[in-house]
Structure formats: C-alpha cells, structure tokens
C-alpha cells in the first residue's frame, strides 16, 4: 500500500516537472541559431526522425503518456534548428481526416499516449492527453480500421486516479 502511494506520488511529481523542464530546455534553443548538436545535447535523442525532401529533418519529442504536449523540431540541411512546434493543438486535431494513414497521423500529432485494439469493432484507437480539467483528463482519439486508415475521431474526459 505504501509502495503504491509512493509510486503514485513520484509519478505525479515527474509529470508536474516535465512541462517546466521542457520550457527551460526549449527556451535555451533558438531557431536560426541553435545547432542540431545543441538540440540533442539538451533534448536527447528524438523518438522519431523524418527526412524531408528539402534535406531537412523533423525530430519528434513526445511527452506522452502523461504530458499534454508533443514537440516537432525541424533541423535544416545546414544542421541549424529551423522551427519548434507543439503539435497537440486544436488546429492539428482538425486536420485528421478519414482515410489518413497511421504514418500521416503520427507525423502530424506525434506518438500517441495509448494504443488500444477493440476486437468487436475491429478498430485500433490512438489517444493523446490534451486538457486537464478539475479532476479530469481530456483525450483526443483517432480510430483506425484494420487496414490502418482513419475512420473517425472523438474526444473524451476521464476521471483521474
């Protein structure tokens, strides 16, 4: 019982500290000035990397499952940071359309907090924590068919604990 309480407390402290750490680290990085080496030094290795047609790369830094942010950092072909984006936004959620692939959704929103398969509906649902209300966590959900294509999106709130 005490061990579970301590684990819960520690998880809460870590989750509360992550946004503060991100703000400090991201404020140290300056688009147009900071190098890819400085990004890796401060942020660590990206969870995913996409090569772009213009020679730039996009590095993904997810803060899921507990965080409400996922970052995409664009590094130019000259190894200089071009852009920092927080991608879990209402504008990006609105861009998710039926027929999109898992890869397209991942590139748009970053790594999901959870992936759950529903046998009876024969669908996979990815979710991202988006809002924290009084005693509730909000989630944006993307529903995929068995072929990995978006069928629909939804949102829900879940009581904490």
Q: Write out pLDDT tens, residues 25-34.
A: 788 999 999 9
- Terminal Cα-to-Cα distance of the chain (whole angstroms): 15
- Extract the tokens encoding 16: 């509360």
List, for residues 103-133, the tens digit of each pLDDT value. Answer: 999 999 999 999 999 999 999 999 999 987 7
Question: Do the domains spanning 2-86 and 90-159 agree at the CATH topology level?
Answer: yes
Share of the chain above pLDDT 90, in %: 73
Q: Is the pLDDT of residue 1 over 70?
A: no
Instruction: Say how far apart CA 43 and CA 45 lie, in whole Å.
Output: 7
* Averaged pLDDT, 18-39: 80
Domain boundaries, the chain: 2-86, 90-159
pLDDT for the residue 145? 97
96-105, 113-122, 131-140, 143-152: segment of lowest average pLDDT: 131-140
User: Are 35 and 81 within 8 A, CB to CB?
Assistant: yes
Domain spanning 90-159 has what CATH number?
3.30.1450.10
List, as own/partner pairs, every contact residues 9-13 make where C-beta atoms lie below 8 angstroms and the sequence separation is at least 24, other chains included: 11/66
For the chain, give the mean pLDDT.
87
> Is the pTM value of this prediction over 0.85?
no
pLDDT of residue 127: 97
Helix (H, G, I), strand (E, B) or coil at 41: helix
Tell me the pLDDT band of 99, cut-offs 50, 70 and 90: very high
Residue pLDDT, tens place only, 68-85: 999 999 999 999 999 999
The CATH class of 2-86 is: alpha beta
- Of the chain, the percentage scoring pLDDT greater than 70 comes to 84
């Amino acid at each position: 019982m005490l061990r579970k309480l301590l684990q819960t407390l520690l998880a809460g402290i870590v989750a509360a500290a992550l946004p503060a750490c991100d703000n400090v680290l991201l404020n140290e990085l300056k688009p147009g000035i900071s190098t890819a080496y400085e990004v890796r030094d401060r942020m660590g290795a990206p969870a995913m990397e996409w090569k772009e047609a213009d020679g730039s790369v996009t590095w993904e830094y997810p803060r899921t499952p507990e965080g409400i942010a996922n970052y995409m950092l664009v590094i130019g072909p000259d190894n200089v940071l071009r852009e920092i984006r927080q991608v879990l936004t209402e504008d990006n959620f609105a861009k998710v359309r039926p027929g999109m692939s898992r890869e397209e959704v991942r590139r748009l929103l970053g790594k999901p907090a959870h992936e759950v398969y529903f046998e009876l509906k024969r669908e996979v649902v990815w979710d991202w924590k988006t809002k924290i209300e009084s005693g509730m966590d909000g989630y944006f959900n993307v529903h995929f068919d068995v072929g990995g294509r978006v069928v629909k999106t939804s949102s829900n709130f879940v009581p904490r604990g």
